[in-house]
């Protein structure tokens, strides 16, 4: 008999619920995005996010159960993200998860959002029939995080989905997360929100060698990242090229008239803008790839895992694959759908904890800065 876990995720601006069997079979995966609400502010507004989670959580959970063909009473446990994230957003999921577990008399499992991102990679590895070898270096790169972990097996040699892991944080961003840099550059250039997917699509048409953005130079931990420098360099570039401003104004108008997709915005982008986007993306991607692979070398990793919203980026995937292959390393990504925030990864991460008897009680709270490892 399989173990079916209902996962709930509300750490940022996606209200999500999913049912996963035995930590690897996704029976349903529902994500209600709030992008349309936050778009006009160019970023997530915490108060609006928690209000929207409150509105969406019940229908989203209901839809996840319906799609899985299960009644609430048939799930074996409830898993919920308890941090890190926006505290008001997290509280909606935590409170609802606790109430469900208590009223149904089901076990409640608390999951760290970052550990969820690691399991998004494992879910996909299961789909394609492989199991990443450990120890692994895991890069979690999203709008809120850019962090490197050394991931090792916790116990025995069970199946990948039943396996517990030990995490050691070996590096992180000292300022902006990579996804945040994408979002801020998109805001500066009037390309909408979130910036990552649009820049990813438009950068394909530009020359990535047109503008030179040097890698961030930092003292101290060589596994740390920094993206505020490249973001500021783009700002200076725009300031030094006043002709770009006319286009920015034109794109604002296009936005006011409903243009949202990269293909709708492309006619409003000169070669100069496309080159700037491609060069920015090249700078961010080479920094992410080179620091991750340097860590893999230092810690003798057998594989590399890459997860989080920015893991959906096509150049990041391509460069990682090419560079890792040269070094004889396997690199694993989640499917694009599982790269961004979702609850399937939370239910999957809960499975080894459920098997190990880890239970959260009525005292479970949301923790905005909950660390992993």
Question: Which residues sit at the interface with ligand KG4, rule CB under 6 A?
Answer: 12, 142-144, 179, 182-183, 194-197, 200, 308-310, 312-313, 340-341
Rounded to a whole number of angstroms, the minimum distance from the CB of residue 150 to Zn ion is 20
Chain centre distance of CA 325: 24
- When the beta carbons of 179 and 283 are compared against ligand KG4, the nearer one is 179
> Burial, 240: exposed, middle or buried (Cβ in 10 Å; 0-12, 13-18, 19+)?
exposed
Other beta carbons within 10 Å of 232: 13
Q: Choose from ligand KG4, Zn ion, none: what does 192 bind? Cβ within 5-8 Å by kind.
A: none
Cis amide bond preceding 73, omega within 30: no
- In this complex, which beta carbon is closest to Zn ion, that of residue 89 or of residue 281? 89
Residue 200 interacting partner from ligand KG4, Zn ion, none (CB closer than 5 to 8 Å by kind):
ligand KG4
183 binds, among Zn ion, ligand KG4, none (CB under 5 to 8 A by kind): ligand KG4
| Lookup: tokens for 210 | 């047109």
Residue 51: partners with Cβ closer than 8 Å, 6 or more residues away: none
Nearer to ligand KG4, 200 or 275 (CB): 200
Q: Which is nearer to ligand KG4, 97 or 308 (CB)?
A: 308
Binding track over 142-181 against Zn ion, x by CB under 5 A: x---------------------------------------
Least distance (Å) between residue 252 CB and ligand KG4: 19
Please, what is the minimum distance in Å from the beta carbon of residue 99 to Zn ion? 24
CA-based angle 17:151:79, to the nearest 5? 20
- Say which entry of ligand KG4, Zn ion, none residue 182 contacts (CB below 5 to 8 A, set by partner kind): ligand KG4
Binding site partner of 230, from ligand KG4, Zn ion, none, Cβ cut-off 5-8 A by kind: none
Measured CA to CA, the distance from residue 242 to residue 250 in angstroms comes to 14
The site partner of 197 among Zn ion, ligand KG4, none (C-beta below 5 to 8 Å per kind) is ligand KG4
Per the DSSP assignment, residues forming a β-bridge with 137 are 150, 304
Task: Please select the residue that binds Zn ion; options are 329, 341, 346, 364, rule is CB under 5 A.
Answer: 341
Q: Is residue 85 within 8 Å of 49, Cβ to Cβ?
A: no
Least CB distance to ligand KG4 at residue 279 (A): 15
The residue among 268 and 339 lying less far from ligand KG4, judged by its C-beta, is 339
Binding to Zn ion by residue 89, rule CB under 5 A? no
Q: Choose among Zn ion, ligand KG4, none what residue 148 binds, the Cβ cut-off being 5 to 8 Å by kind.
A: none
Which of Zn ion, ligand KG4, none sits in contact with 273, Cβ below 5 to 8 A by type? none
Cβ density class 148-165: b for 16+ within 10 Å, e for less? bbbbeeeeeeeebbbbbb
- Rounded Cα–Cα distance for residues 131 and 165 (Å): 14
* Shortest spacing between CB 201 and ligand KG4, in angstroms: 8
Nearer to ligand KG4, 107 or 196 (CB): 196
CA atoms within 13 A on the CB side of 161: 25
Kindly state the smallest distance separating residue 271's Cβ from Zn ion, in Å. Answer: 34
* Contacts of Zn ion in 236-255 (CB under 5 A): none
Token pair 């079979």 is found at 25
Residues touching Zn ion: how many (CB under 5 A)?
A: 2
Q: What is the pattern of x (binds Zn ion, CB under 5 A) and - over residues 129-148?
A: -------------x------
Q: State the residues that interact with Zn ion by CB under 5 A.
A: 142, 341
């Amino acid at each position: 008999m399989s173990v079916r876990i209902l996962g709930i995720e509300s750490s940022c601006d996606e209200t999500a619920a999913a049912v996963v069997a035995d930590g690897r079979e996704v029976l349903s995966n529902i994500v209600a995005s709030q992008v349309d609400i936050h778009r006009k502010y160019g970023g997530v507004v915490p108060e609006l996010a928690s209000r929207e989670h409150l509105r969406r959580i019940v229908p989203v959970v209901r839809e996840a159960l319906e799609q899985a063909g299960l009644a609430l009473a048939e799930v074996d446990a409830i898993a919920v993200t308890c941090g890190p994230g926006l505290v008001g957003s997290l509280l909606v999921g935590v409170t609802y998860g606790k109430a469900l577990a208590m009223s149904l008399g089901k076990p409640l499992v608390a999951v760290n959002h970052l550990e969820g991102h690691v399991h998004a990679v494992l879910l996909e590895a299961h789909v394609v029939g492989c199991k990443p070898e450990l120890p692994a270096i895991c890069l979690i790169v999203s709008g809120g995080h850019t962090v490197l972990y050394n991931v090792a097996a916790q116990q025995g040699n069970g199946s990948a989905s039943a396996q517990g892991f030990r995490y050691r944080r070996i590096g992180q961003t000292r300022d902006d997360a990579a996804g945040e840099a994408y979002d801020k550059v998109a805001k500066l250039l009037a390309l909408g929100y979130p910036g990552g997917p649009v820049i990813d699509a438009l950068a394909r048409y530009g020359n990535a060698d047109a503008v030179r953005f040097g890698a961030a130079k930092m003292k101290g931990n060589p596994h740390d990242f920094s993206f505020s420098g490249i973001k500021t360099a783009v700002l200076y570039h725009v300031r030094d090229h006043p002709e770009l401003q006319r286009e920015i104004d034109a794109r604002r108008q296009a936005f006011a008239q409903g243009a949202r997709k990269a293909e709708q915005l492309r006619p409003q982008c000169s070669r100069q803008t496309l080159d700037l986007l491609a060069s920015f993306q090249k700078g961010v991607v080479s920094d992410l790839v080179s620091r991750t692979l340097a860590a893999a070398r230092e810690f003798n990793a057998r594989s590399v895992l890459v997860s989080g919203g920015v893991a959906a980026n096509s150049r990041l995937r391509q460069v990682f694959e090419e560079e890792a292959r040269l070094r004889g390393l396997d690199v694993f990504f989640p499917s694009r759908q599982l790269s961004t925030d979702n609850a399937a990864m939370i239910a999957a991460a809960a499975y080894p904890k459920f098997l190990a008897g880890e239970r959260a009680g009525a005292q479970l709270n949301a923790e905005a800065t909950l660390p992993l490892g």
